[in-house]
Amino acid sequence: MPEPDAVVTILHFNDCYNVEEQHGEPVGGATRFCTALKRFANENPLTLFSGDVLAPSIMSTFTKGEQMVPVLNCCGVDCAVYGNHDFDFGVDNLIDFAKQTKFPWLISNVVDNETGKLLADGEEYQIMERSGKKIGLIGLVEEEWLETLATIDPSEVDYKDFVTEGRRLAHFLKYKNGVDYVIALTHMRMPNDCRLAANVDEIDLILGGHDHVYEFKKVNGKYIVKSGTDFRQFSHITLTFSSSGVSVSIKEVGVTSQYEEDKELKELLSKYKDVVQGKMEEVIAHFSVDLDGRFCSIRTSESNLGNFICDVMLSATHSDLAILNSGTLRSDRIHPRGPFKMRDLVTILPMMDSLVVLNATGEQILKALENGVSQYPKLEGRFPQVSGVSFAFDPKKPPGERVDARYVKIGDEPLDLKQKYRLVTKGYLAQGKDGYDVLKNSEVLMSEDESPELCTAIQNHFQAIKILTGVSHPHTHHRQSLVCLSRRHSLVRLSGDITQRMQLKRGMSLDAAGRRFLFRQRQTSLEDVEHEVAKLEPKVEGRILLLTGEVEKTLLQESESHPHALVEEVIEEEPSSSGSFDRN
């Protein structure tokens, strides 16, 4: 066996959200994790991270991921790639976060069209030296999760195929810069990592994230490694260079309770408990109306609080409709108009609820609504709050027969039982809980891992309002949309005596945050609608009606007598080469 001329140690981890230790071994926890990494300090390791650290977690709800700066710095990270959840609080927040860390962040294959630079000021590659060997690092992400980001419009970035860019950069590093070994830090699903490995010979090792499992496999003669999640394990990888090539040894290290907590990091993290308390009193919005969160309201009828929450769900995920069980909203009180604090938001939404987007049929939606009203008038948490859909139900009829399909509309179009719709809900309901078992076998378009956490989506909504109204002046214009820009419809219907077609930019249908169009004033542009939404005066709009004889008569008359005005899609012009940017 040839004598090694160099040995390089790599420590790798990915997808870490909670600094606290978990139940059951390996318990993990950031402070023990840091201790475990430091045990290998004498090997002068290259410590690499494959993305997702800012969110989601309870603490990040308050800190926007700030607590992870000392964690990553204490862990001695040398280089990282951005993950999808690192964008949860927006591009500007991520840029500020990255500046506070002591190492470079990569994202080699996504360009920000506004700045012409790599997204979030990421870097294209790095060259680092260990044991006399030059190690080249590139950071690659998949298009799939890029399209799910609530804080970035995919049309505002230029995505480059990870195979094409991976091959170009690996070739550049090896043959133009004399790099001995190329590592791709990735944040994408295993099938895409396999595609990268199979098609790019110049890449020697793939260290991935996005999958919350510990596994490694060999494809096309190179290893793909996923190193678990949440500070519970990491990979110790040994590269042995010799005249016959490079051999790779991989070992999983579990972070068990046998590791002591790192005292320095523990002290640094302790201050964030005070930060959380301080954030609770921070005013994050100003509402123009009272918000009704009383159980007697939200569990028996449409409410303006439920409408607001569901509207945000809709706009954050570009879905066709939103359904949320009222049991999610926990405050059981009226929130007076005026300053709205972080404490109010946490009182309303005390649980970490990740959103899920399903590809649901009209028949499934009808059954879901039936389940929602099946226990009426009991104050059951399954009663729905909705956006993008309106319906009427007859409580005198037996459960399962209460919702009249004739009066269910998506936007202002009649429900088609065979048509598939983008339905956003929370993971709990997507799993079939609270009687919503009809949803559990639906195709998942955006998983919990890919979707924003509900509380985060609402904070981003408030931040988008501040940007729109000039209260906040960020470095970039990226923000969450304030209205639903559904990709499914090419047009929507508006009420009133409109004889000419109205045009709306961006080539997508407008839900105007899910409002029922029969009761909505006309808007002539996306900007008008966003400014209307920014007033924060949600109303009860007739999304959920009790089907009395009088209501049924009115619904029939409306369907027969209201002429429809069409909002026609138009293709927005490309931004100018000067980098000017128009969100409208």
Domain assignment present for residue 269? The answer is yes
- Rounded to whole angstroms, the Cα distance separating 415 from 417 reads 6
Q: Are 372 and 327 in contact (CB under 8 A)?
A: no
Question: Could you tell me the CATH number of the domain that includes residue 393?
Answer: 3.90.780.10
Both 417 and 563 in one domain: the answer is yes
What is the predicted pLDDT for the residue at 485?
A: 57
The dihedrals phi and psi of 74, each to the nearest 5 degrees, come to: -70, -30
CATH of the domain at 159: 3.60.21.10
- Residue located via tokens 């919005």: 285
Q: Which two structure tokens, joined as six digits, stand for 184? A: 């791709």
Does residue 340 share a domain with residue 250? no
Q: What letter does residue 281 receive in the DSSP assignment?
A: T
The enclosing H or E element of 194 equals: helix 190-199
Q: How far apart are CA 506 and CA 525, in angstroms?
A: 10
Does 254 lie in the same domain as 173? yes
Residue 423 token pair: 């339905």
What's the sign of the alpha-carbon dihedral 35, 40, 46, 48? negative
Please give the helix or strand (H or E) that residue 311 lies within, else none. Answer: helix 304-317
Residue 482: inside a domain, yes or no?
A: yes
Please tell me the distance from the alpha carbon of residue 455 to that of residue 182, in angstroms, as a whole number: 39
127 & 151 share domain: yes
Of 223, 242, 277, the domain-final residue? 277
- In total, the chain counts a number of residues equal to 584
Domain coverage including residue 94:
6-277
In a domain, 125, yes or no: yes
8-state DSSP, 404: -
Please choose, from the candidates 182, 250, 171, 260, the residue with its C-alpha nearest in 3D space to the C-alpha of residue 216: 250
pLDDT at 56: 87
Place of tokens 């839900």: 511
- Residue where one domain finishes, among candidates 277, 304, 336: 277
Looking at the fold, whether 70 and 39 belong to one and the same domain comes out as yes
Provide DSSP, 161-182.
Answer: -HHHHHHHHHHHHHHHS--SEE
38 occurs within a structural domain = yes
Residue 409 and residue 498 in one domain:
yes
Per-residue tokens: 105 = 């962040």
pTM of the model: 0.76
Of 35, 38, 65, whose CA–CA distance to 52 is shortest? 65
Query: Which residues, 6+ apart, have CB-to-CB distance to 406 below 8 Å?
Result: 414
The burial of 561, by beta-carbon neighbours within 10 Å (0-12 exposed, 13-18 middle, 19 or more buried), is given as exposed
Q: Is 376 in the same domain as 417?
A: yes
Alpha carbon 170 to chain centroid, angstroms: 30
208 touches 229 (CB < 8 A):
no
Task: Write down which residue in 230, 253, 277 finishes a domain.
Answer: 277
**304 and 349 within one domain:** yes
Laid out side by side, the sheet with 205-209 consists of: 125-130, 133-141, 181-187, 205-209, 222-227, 214-219
What contacts 248, CB < 8 A, 6 or more positions away? 205, 223, 237, 238, 239, 240
Residue 180 to residues 86, 176, 212, 220, 571: CA-CA distances in angstroms? 30, 11, 30, 18, 47
**Rounded to an integer, what distance in angstroms lies between the CA atom of residue 80 and that of residue 86?**
12
Angle at 356 between CA 515 and CA 105, to 5 degrees: 110
Task: Indicate whether 302 and 434 sit together in one domain.
Answer: yes
Whether residues 210 and 343 share a domain: the answer is no
Rounded to the nearest 10°, the torsion over CA 299, 300, 302, 304 is -50
**Would you write out the chain's pLDDT as a tens digit for each of its 584 residues?**
567 789 999 999 999 999 999 888 999 999 999 999 999 999 999 999 999 999 988 899 899 999 999 999 999 999 999 999 999 999 999 999 999 999 999 999 999 999 999 999 999 999 999 999 999 999 999 998 887 888 888 889 999 999 999 999 999 999 999 999 999 999 999 999 999 999 999 999 999 999 999 999 999 999 999 999 999 999 999 999 999 999 999 999 999 999 999 999 999 999 887 888 888 899 999 999 999 999 999 999 999 999 999 999 999 999 999 999 999 999 999 999 999 999 999 999 988 899 999 999 999 999 999 999 999 999 999 999 999 999 999 999 999 999 999 999 998 899 999 999 999 999 999 999 999 999 998 999 999 988 889 999 999 999 989 988 888 777 776 777 777 755 333 333 333 332 232 333 222 233 333 333 333 443 446 777 778 888 899 999 999 999 988 888 888 887 776 544 333 333 333 333 333 333 33
Residue 255 and residue 308 share a domain? no
- Looking at the fold, whether 299 and 207 belong to one and the same domain comes out as no
Cα four-point dihedral sign 305, 308, 314, 316: negative
Query: Which residues does 271 contact at the CB level (< 8 Å), separation at least 6?
Result: none
Residue 127 · residue 164 · CB < 8 Å:
no
Tell me the pairing of strands 125-130 and 110-112. Answer: unpaired
CA 105 to chain centre: 20
CA 509 → CA 74, 305, 411, 412, distances in Å? 47, 24, 10, 12
Q: How many domains does the chain have?
A: 2
Q: How many whole angstroms from its chain centre is CA 234?
A: 25
Tally Cβ neighbours within 10 Å of residue 99.
10
Task: Output DSSP code: residue 21.
Answer: P
